[in-house]
Amino acid sequence: LSVSAGSRVNVSGGIVGTGLDALERSEVNVSSGSITDDFTVAGVLNVSGGSVGRFTASAGSEVNISGGVAQRFSQAFASTVNISGGTRSEWFNAFSGTIVNVTGGAIGPIFTAELGSEVNISGGTLGVDFSARGGSVVNISGGKIGAGFSDIGGSQISQLGAEVFLNGVPLTPVAVTTP
């Protein structure tokens, strides 16, 4: 199933099967119901309820998760991902050119900021095994960071703010940059 450029699809119940492609300048809104695996978005995906399976956010796309559940392995290439609520289950990779903004919600285990990506965390909860690979930028000004946070080497990590937790322990409110 393909969503044509300039089209809008609203999922408010039921199940959309495997292989949905939302072309550029299209918009998919999920308020309940579900979209199963192998979903590709090149336009805008808004998740405020329901669930979305494994998806790929293509270059120039925008993904907004304010509620519901985004499940399983997903990846973003040169796109913008905004997470303000809901749950991002497991396995997420932000590749080069991708900006991820986390202001709320919960992100499950195994999140990787790849070379050329930027992750901004000002709220919410990151689960275990967050990795910042060389050439990525991670800015932390709030929120909770789970066990297994790792700088693979060559990433830029900045921590500002008093309400930042690492492995359940509050970090000292100073600016820290890891070259």
pLDDT in tens, 147-161: 888 888 899 998 876
- Enter the tokens of residue 27: 């918009």
Distance from the Cα of residue 116 to its chain's centroid? 15
When pLDDT is averaged across residues 78-104 and rounded to a whole number, the result is: 92
Going from the C-alpha of 5 to that of each of 2, 21, 43, 168, the distances in angstroms are 9, 10, 8, 45
pLDDT reading at 172 higher than 50: yes
Q: pLDDT for 42-87, tens place per residue?
A: 999 999 999 998 899 999 999 999 999 888 778 999 999 999 998 8
Bridge pairing between strands 130-132 and 150-151: parallel
Confidence label for 177 from pLDDT (cuts 50, 70 and 90): very low
Q: State the average pLDDT over residues 95-121.
A: 94
Mean pLDDT of 98-107: 92
Q: What is the pLDDT of residue 146?
A: 83
Alpha-carbon torsion 121, 100, 112, 178, what sign? negative
Mean local confidence (pLDDT), 90-107 = 93
- Half-sphere exposure (CA, 13 Å, Cβ side) for 86? 25
- Tell me the pLDDT of the chain averaged across its residues: 87
Q: Please tell me whether the overall predicted TM-score, pTM, comes out greater than 0.85 for this model.
A: yes
Q: How far apart are alpha carbons 96 and 19 in whole angstroms?
A: 24
pLDDT value for 175: 43
- Please determine, for residue 95, whether its predicted confidence score (pLDDT) is greater than 90: yes
**What per-residue confidence (pLDDT) applies to 163?**
60
- What is the DSSP code (8-state) at residue 147? T
Evaluate if residue 96 carries a pLDDT over 70.
yes
